[in-house]
Amino acid sequence: MLIGANVSMSGKGMFPGAVAQAASYDATTLQFYVGAPQNTRRKDVSEMRIPEGLDAMQTADLSHLVIHAPYIVNLANAKDPEKWAFGVQFMREEVQRSDALQAYTMAFHPGAHVGAGAETGIANLAKGLNEFITADQHVTIALETMAGKGTEIGRTFEELAAIIDQVDQQDKVMVTMDTCHMSDAGYAVRDDFDGVLNEFDHVIGLDKLAAIHINDSVNEQGAHKDRHANIGAGTIGFDALEKIVNHPQLAAIPKILETPFVGPDKKHMHAPYGVEIGWLTSGNYQPEQLTALAQQD
């Protein structure tokens, strides 16, 4: 099973530090942002300790590194040409960094049309993708399914298919499913995931599925809110998420947890990933374990 979590590549630890975090959760795959997700400041690849990180991944039996692009890049919005051009150039460089890290894929939020309409937003994004995607890059760009909050695009499989249809290098564009986002967008993730998967296959194609973000949701199906919950603590529930993680058609797809940290206060927060990965791999849901973790100083 390919299952892991979003970890941190920061401080002196850099790439090997991120691998050590993932290994501490008994993960078999991992995801991280190359820098802070809320800005575009990035270290040079020479500072990321890449050879050590790759060796650490091999030692820990981790594979399929997923990079997450920063969510502040919005290529669907062309109202500010300078910001749009900056976003294209930043993504061009982010692809180079991801290739240096030998990443498998890059989860990428499609962005928002900010009032111009979904069709215009889709065209703007596709134009941006065509500006920075090249035939010789290794990492694929995995457009993420979105909850439909505000003017987000990518809230339906049809919108994602429309984006892909306008991209020149279509072999370099994939999709990241997010269970919380899909449920919030209106898909029956809890009650009929096989039906959701079948619809995805017919509209986009399962060969385009690169990764899955495994998150429960605070909100009911169709709420268009996008608030992640811990596994089993939301409206999707443990049973549905455990079936997705262990789905036979998804065995080769990396599954990444992005659930909230827990703790008694903001100064004492703990990653839940070791506990949640244990539940999902064993099928043994023990919510009291997370309660105990949340009470630790």
Strand partners, 262: 270
Determine if residue 258 is labeled as part of a ligand binding site.
yes
Distance (Å) of CA 252 to CA 47, 63, 121, 147, 280: 31, 11, 32, 25, 16
Determine if residue 138 is labeled as part of a ligand binding site.
no
Distance (Å) of CA 179 to CA 213, 228, 232, 234: 6, 9, 13, 11
**Beta strand extents in the chain (DSSP E only):** 3-6, 29-32, 66-68, 105-108, 140-144, 173-178, 209-214, 216-217, 228-229, 255-257, 262-265, 268-270
Determine if residue 144 is labeled as part of a ligand binding site.
yes
Closest among 53, 4, 14 to 274, alpha carbons compared:
4
Determine if residue 64 is labeled as part of a ligand binding site.
no
Determine if residue 224 is labeled as part of a ligand binding site.
no
Determine if residue 265 is labeled as part of a ligand binding site.
no
Determine if residue 213 is labeled as part of a ligand binding site.
yes
Q: Give the three-state DSSP class for 129.
A: helix
Tokens of 182: 């899909």
Determine if residue 152 is labeled as part of a ligand binding site.
no
Determine if residue 109 is labeled as part of a ligand binding site.
yes
**Known binding residues:** 68, 109, 144, 178, 181, 213, 226, 228, 258
Residues forming the annotated binding site for Zn(2+)? Answer: 68, 109, 144, 178, 181, 213, 226, 228, 258
